[in-house]
Amino acid sequence: MCGNGIRCVAKVLYETDPALRRSPLRIETGAGVLECAIDAIDGEVRSVAVQMGRPRLTRSEIPLAPGGTERVVRTAIAASGRPFQFTGVSMGNPHAVIFVDDPGANLREFAETFGPTLEHAPTFPHRTNVEFARIRDGQIDLVVWERGCGITLACGTGACATVVAACLEERSIPGREVAVNLPGGTLHITVAPDYAGVRMRGPARSVFRSELDLSTLASGIR
């Protein structure tokens, strides 16, 4: 499941299929059926708010090794000889969220330097996404080392996991919408007061349109 991708899918469905021009749209994903509220003007979708489901917070749910029913908050871990503390969250995929309190530290350099090692650390049997985050004026600046991809411009599930982690670490308050600033733009995340769900709100914009003739690929499809 891709948090940013589902907003794009919701936009295309709403704008191209009259039968689906409604709000909310319910879309089935590998992480379950997610509800998308559409904000549109004259039939053009401007933003989509997605109910991202319940964050998984225990060691076995994330998962971590060893498993268990405990939450993982400010837990020690090291990468390339440097100590960190991470909070573990799953949004259908695993995340290790690390808050960097040094205002002069470069979050992207941290992600590029330590993300590959942390992704493959033995603590994470399915590998993990790694978030390097900083609280600034009530907002969160975030760079994500995405599992299997590396540095990405934005990660919707990563933004959700980071705000959940901020609440668990008492850096933020559940129930309040938080702006998360990623290299590719800003998402707005709200964690339910009882941690029963996470709402992600963000823009959706058409970049290009193309057509694919599947018959030209028939020989390569098995």
pLDDT value at 220 more than 70: no
Whether residue 102 is found in the same domain as residue 153: yes
Whether residue 33 is found in the same domain as residue 133: no
- Asked whether residue 184 is assigned to any structural domain, the reply reads yes
Whether residue 185 is found in the same domain as residue 130: yes
- Asked whether residue 70 is assigned to any structural domain, the reply reads no
**How many angstroms from the chain centroid is the CA of residue 162?**
8
Whether residue 94 is found in the same domain as residue 133: yes
Candidate from 27-36, 90-99, 135-144 with smallest mean pLDDT: 27-36
pLDDT single digits (tens) 90-100: 998 999 999 99
> Would you state the structure tokens that stand for residue 113, as one six-digit string?
């330097």
State whether residue 208 is helix, strand or coil: coil
pLDDT single digits (tens) 122-131: 999 999 999 9
Which residue in the list 2, 8, 160, 167 is annotated as catalytic?
2
In terms of pLDDT, which residue wins out, 60 or 4? 60
Domain that holds residue 39: 3-52+206-220
- Asked whether residue 36 is assigned to any structural domain, the reply reads yes
- Asked whether residue 68 is assigned to any structural domain, the reply reads no
CB 198 within 8 A of CB 192: yes
Q: Report, in angstroms and rounded to the nearest whole number, the Rg of the chain calculated over CA atoms.
A: 18
Q: How many domains does the chain have?
A: 2
pLDDT value at 28 more than 80: yes
pLDDT value at 222 more than 80: no
pLDDT value at 221 more than 70: no
Half-sphere exposure of 109 (CA within 13 A, CB side): 4
Q: Please compute the mean of the pLDDT values over residues 176-199 and round it to a whole number.
A: 97
Share of the chain above pLDDT 70, in %: 98
Whether residue 22 is found in the same domain as residue 113: no
pLDDT-based confidence at 4, cuts 50/70/90? confident
Burial of 137 (0-12, 13-18, 19+ CB in 10 A): exposed
pLDDT-based confidence at 219, cuts 50/70/90? low
Q: Please compute the mean of the pLDDT values over residues 19-42 and round it to a whole number.
A: 91
What confidence score (pLDDT) does residue 217 get?
76
Q: In the annotation, is 149 catalytic?
A: no
Whether residue 14 is found in the same domain as residue 43: yes
Whether residue 80 is found in the same domain as residue 159: yes
Burial of 155 (0-12, 13-18, 19+ CB in 10 A): buried
- Asked whether residue 14 is assigned to any structural domain, the reply reads yes
Q: Please compute the mean of the pLDDT values over residues 179-206 and round it to a whole number.
A: 96
Whether residue 130 is found in the same domain as residue 158: yes
Whether residue 94 is found in the same domain as residue 131: yes
Q: Please compute the mean of the pLDDT values over residues 12-24 and round it to a whole number.
A: 93
pLDDT single digits (tens) 149-185: 999 999 999 999 999 999 999 999 999 999 999 999 9
- Asked whether residue 62 is assigned to any structural domain, the reply reads no
Whether residue 28 is found in the same domain as residue 113: no
Q: Which residue in 151, 144, 128, 142 sits closest to 188, CA to CA?
A: 142
Whether residue 101 is found in the same domain as residue 172: yes
Q: Please compute the mean of the pLDDT values over residues 83-108 and round it to a whole number.
A: 96
How far lies 9's CA from each of 16, 51, 86, 156, 204, in Å?
11, 14, 32, 14, 9
Whether residue 93 is found in the same domain as residue 175: yes
- Asked whether residue 63 is assigned to any structural domain, the reply reads no
State which H helix or E strand residue 191 sits in.
strand 185-191
- Asked whether residue 138 is assigned to any structural domain, the reply reads yes
**How does the average pLDDT of the chain come out, rounded?**
94
Which residue in the list 36, 155, 160, 167 is annotated as catalytic?
155
What confidence score (pLDDT) does residue 3 get?
80
Domain containing 111 — which CATH number?
3.10.310.10
